[in-house]
A = this chain, B = another copy of it.
Amino acid sequence: MLTDHQILRIPGPTPIPPSVQRAMNLPMIGHRGEETSELLKRIHPRLKPIFGTEQEVLILAGSGTAGLETAVVNTTQAGDEVLVLVTGSFGDRFAKICETYQLKIHRLDVPWGDAVDPEQVNAYLQNHPSIKVVFATYCETSTGVLNPIQEIASAIQSASDALFIVDGVSCIGGVKAKMDEWGIDILVTGSQKAFMLPTGLAFVAASERAWKVIEENPQPRFYLDLRKYRDNLAKYTTPFTPALSLLFGLEQALNLLETEGLENVYKRHQLMMEMTREACQALDLPLLTADDTASPTVTAIYPEDFEADQLRKVLKTEFGLSFAGGQNHLKGKIFRIGHMGYCTPADVLQFISLLELGLQQIGVKRDFGKGTIAAQTIYLERRK
């Protein structure tokens, strides 16, 4: 096997475009110099449309989890009542962070693979008026559910004054977000998903309403203090050493997103999801999520007649193709396909035909080509 040939189709980290990789190889510059200021000045306004906000999108050096913790520590203190909408392991992570800071947690768990029901959130908040913050996951990476964030935001607003904090790590940049319009108070994402970058940048934007809470919140925080990032950005600098190579890469990733056009980027992700789902259905591979709550960035398959991990193993060994496995109680039960960021319909056709081969190789009887044909057909129907 040609060893230096990897096909990375996990829901992040995602492959890096060559031009982004090249940009990250630019020579290091002084992080307190004029060039860094200019870089920040160029980058920051361009993040706003991706978040759908007029607020500044602040950048921390850290993984997505640093962004989630930032949202928690800047808006809450011990004893605060919060509602965490848990649809999978990343909803669970929000809950764990809240536990660490001794918040009083209400959990609204839905079965993994299902989405949050906005009505239920509304009812819950009406019954619990002391809840100050609601946490939700936009795309639940562990299941491939895209929660109806806009509807959840409305449901919250009509029942409560609670802040709405959203983990958008595995979808922002690949799906539409209208933070201001929908009424999201804090939106978080990371660099290693639809932004087509390595892990290392966390992006956090906060609404005016959230900023009022953040300003007055007595919770101790130093590195994750959002105020520091905001105040320094106003002077086009950073409170701590910025991850400059990743910022070089980010500038080029933004070039790519803007050249394609954000609407087209979202359409491409939608199309890749549809191709993947149609192919799986044609191959009798049960999908974990329903059509109307499926994420354009990741698809989970729950096979009934074979071991998910056996398929994953043969695809990795034979073709260097990586799909992700399941997490928690879905470990070994499902496999997950990432189709976001640096991924195109051509890549979808490739992993579908390899999936067909892999099934054959582990002795699962499926007709060759059925998935490919379904994906090709939907491509031609929907591409315009």
Contacts and interface: CB of A to CB of B under 8 A. Distances in A.
A319 interface: yes
A264 B1 CA distance: 7
B357 A380 contact: yes
Interface stretch (A70-78, A126-134, A232-240, A342-350): A342-350
Given A368-B373, A373-B368, A256 B353 contact: no
Specify the main secondary structure of chain A where it touches its partner: helix
Nearest to A370: B369
Q: Kindly report how many copies of this chain are found in the complex they form together.
A: 2
Contacts of A2: 17, 256, 260, 268, 342, 344
B360 A346 contact: no
A376 B380 contact: no
Interface residues of A, number: 43
B379 A372 contact: no
A62 to B, nearest CB: 26
Nearest to A3: B259
Contact of A377 (B20, B349, B368, B373): B368
Interface in A363-384: 368-370, 372-373, 375-377, 379-380
Given A3-B259, A3-B260, A17-B4, A373 B369 contact: yes
Given A2-B342, A25-B25, A360-B376, 8 more contacts: A1-B344, A4-B19, A5-B17, A349-B357, A357-B379, A368-B376, A368-B377, A369-B376
25 contacts: A1-B264, A1-B344, A2-B342, A3-B260, A4-B17, A4-B20, A5-B344, A319-B344, A320-B346, A347-B350, A349-B353, A349-B354, A349-B357, A350-B350, A353-B353, A357-B376, A357-B380, A368-B369, A368-B372, A368-B376, A369-B369, A369-B373, A369-B376, A372-B372, A372-B373
